[in-house]
Amino acid sequence: MDVVSTSEETVFIQTSNLYYKKWEVENPQNTIVLLHDSLGCTVLWREWPEELAKELNCNVIAYDRRGYGKSDNYTVKRPINYLEQEADILKDFLNYWQVEKPILFGFSDGASVATIFAGMFPNSLELLIIEGVHVLIEPETLKGIVEAENILQTTNIAKALQKYHGNKVYDLYNAWTKTWLSEEHQSWNIEHFIPKITIPILVIQGEFDEFGSMNQVNAFDKASGIVEKCMVSNAKHTAHKEQKELVFKTIVNFVNKLLLK
């Protein structure tokens, strides 16, 4: 199935102008919404949106959260519940798009937002796909973020990211690292949302994910619906990039089996 059209727009949601892009097909069977990671944005999904749209005959929407990509900057100090705020913004986005019961695919921080959303609004989704999710803070999480800080200070990553985030790079990088390493953030935990999730869940994690252990994955044993786990060999945090063919096939099979019958 070929993608019929793409469109992009910036819309004011709650307090910010937020950018999104759509990939639309004829007679879509559903809509997949993509939620990016702590350094990501719509563009950095690369070919994934178009390929998912074609393979699954679904519309696909990706958007930039506050402070990312082509959306407004967001320099406010992040409260401990800032990802819950993002889930609430997603709800407003779905209302704006007039999308009912989509499939969410979230990566890293986007996976945490997707998990929160599925727990807050359990009747609003068809399927939940999460990769490299954070539901609690572990030593691995903090070690990975400290290393990310070092990378910012010792490499040209900021210059590379400016291509996608413009002058927001240092703001978004520091908002991520300073928030998660702060003393007040160490009690952060979203496991209480998991038992409220009743829809099928696919949990994907790289074998050598540098930001979390299997505790992140096994937390979903408490969900109220079907849970499938995919541990990706020879992959770290970005399994969908490092082992793209395997992860893509796993997602397609999951959606086809549970939804597109």
- Segment 211-254, tens digit of pLDDT: 999 999 999 999 999 999 999 999 999 999 999 999 999 999 99
- Residue 164's closest CA among 254, 62, 27? 62
Cα separation of the two ends of the chain: 16
Question: Quick one: what percent of the chain has pLDDT higher than 90?
Answer: 97
Q: Are the C-beta atoms of residues 152 and 158 closer than 8 Å to each other?
A: yes
Domains in the chain and their CATH numbers? 5-135+190-258 (3.40.50.1820)
Q: How far apart are CA 248 and CA 110, in angstroms?
A: 17
- What was the pLDDT predicted at 260? 61
Q: What is the mean pLDDT of residues 15-41?
A: 97
pLDDT reported for residue 3: 75
Instruction: Show the beta-strand stretches assigned E in 91-240.
Output: 103-107, 127-131, 201-206, 227-232
Give mean pLDDT, residues 121-150: 96
| 104 close to 129: Cβ distance less than 8 angstroms | yes
What pLDDT sits at residue 1?
63
Beta bridge partner(s), residue 32: 60, 103
pLDDT of residue 261: 52
Give the pLDDT of residue 162: 96
Percent of the chain exceeding pLDDT 70 equals: 99
Quick: pLDDT tens for 171-209.
Answer: 999 999 999 999 999 999 999 999 999 999 999 999 999
**Quick one: pLDDT at residue 177?**
95
3-state secondary structure of 234: coil
pLDDT on residue 2: 72
Residue found under tokens 């086809």? 256
Mean pLDDT of all residues belonging to the chain: 96
